[in-house]
């Protein structure tokens, strides 16, 4: 069992063989939602895969029981996701991808492993035109801010489970339909004998060149620092998470390093 308390600020342990969390005393008893291969066929480069059956596990609305009132008052939700290692054919293991309605963003933290977050900004009039693609490479302790209007997927590029947490507004539900309709993200990411390979998804009419970067080590506006868990912002300075509910009030120019 891997102890995730240092990286998450919560009493969590990872069972890397069962892809599950052991929840410590005082943590809400959450049953994970399981994303299966059959739920992901539309967004894969190779759509006839038959294994693995289960791809990732989502512990939604996970928190200390005593924090319930404060979390609800601030219109927030905290989740933990476990993405198994392995491949989807030649593709790296990944999530289905989703957009948010309106301008809502999101805040991720890598609790264990290493992974990439691929973000894409679609044209408001034509979702087949992708105006910007950002690939952020992150490791344990890094924070990834999702700016307004960017859809995103998480990709596990390591040989161990990728565990992420996220703070997000509780005022909306994620929208998965555009990723399904599009057959996946703007780029497919493969690993083969030649190494890593990026291939544009042919569904899209126009895709911008990918910008590759890393999470900023510190984002003072949002109270973020690499290596320091973000859950305690709830106690220390919950106003730093206001950007999740009032996204257009804030500047996102310093959240990545290119």
Please determine, for residue 194, whether its predicted confidence score (pLDDT) is greater than 90. Answer: no
According to DSSP, residue 98 is labeled B
pLDDT-derived band at 195, boundaries 50, 70, 90? confident
Which has the closest alpha carbon to 100: 150, 165, 134?
Answer: 150
The SS3 of residue 72 is helix
Q: What confidence tens digit (pLDDT) does each residue in 54-84 have?
A: 999 999 999 999 999 999 999 999 999 999 9
pLDDT at 192: 79
Q: What confidence tens digit (pLDDT) does each residue in 102-149 have?
A: 999 999 999 999 999 999 999 999 999 999 999 999 999 999 999 999
Q: What confidence tens digit (pLDDT) does each residue in 164-179 have?
A: 999 999 999 999 999 9
Which pairs with CB-CB distance under 8 Å and at least 24 residues apart come from 23-32? 23/62, 26/64, 26/65, 26/66, 27/62, 27/63, 27/64, 27/65, 28/61, 28/62, 28/63, 28/64, 28/65, 28/68, 30/59, 30/60, 30/61, 30/62, 32/57, 32/58, 32/59, 32/82
């Amino acid at each position: 069992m891997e102890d995730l308390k240092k990286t998450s600020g919560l009493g969590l342990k990872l069972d890397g063989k069962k892809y599950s969390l052991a929840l410590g005393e005082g943590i809400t008893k959450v049953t994970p939602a399981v994303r299966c291969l059959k739920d992901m066929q539309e967004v894969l480069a190779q759509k006839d895969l038959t294994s693995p059956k289960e791809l990732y596990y989502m512990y939604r609305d996970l928190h200390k029981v005593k924090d319930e009132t404060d979390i609800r008052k601030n219109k927030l939700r905290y989740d933990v996701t476990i993405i198994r290692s392995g491949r989807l054919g030649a593709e790296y293991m990944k999530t289905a991808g989703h957009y948010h309605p309106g301008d809502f963003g999101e805040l991720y933290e890598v609790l264990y492993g290493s992974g990439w977050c691929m973000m894409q900004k679609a044209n408001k009039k034509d979702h087949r035109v992708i105006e910007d693609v950002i690939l952020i490479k992150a490791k344990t302790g890094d924070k990834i801010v999702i700016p307004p209007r960017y859809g995103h997927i998480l990709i596990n590029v390591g040989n161990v489970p990728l565990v992420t947490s996220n703070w997000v507004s509780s005022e909306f539900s994620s929208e998965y339909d555009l990723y399904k309709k599009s057959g996946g993200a703007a780029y497919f990411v493969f690993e083969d004998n030649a190494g890593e390979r990026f291939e544009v998804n042919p569904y899209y009419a126009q895709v911008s060149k990918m910008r590759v970067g890393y999470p900023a080590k510190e984002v003072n506006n949002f109270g973020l620092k690499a290596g320091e868990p973000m859950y305690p912002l709830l106690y220390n300075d919950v106003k730093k998470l206001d950007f999740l509910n009032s996204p257009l009030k804030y500047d996102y120019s310093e959240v990545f390093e290119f």
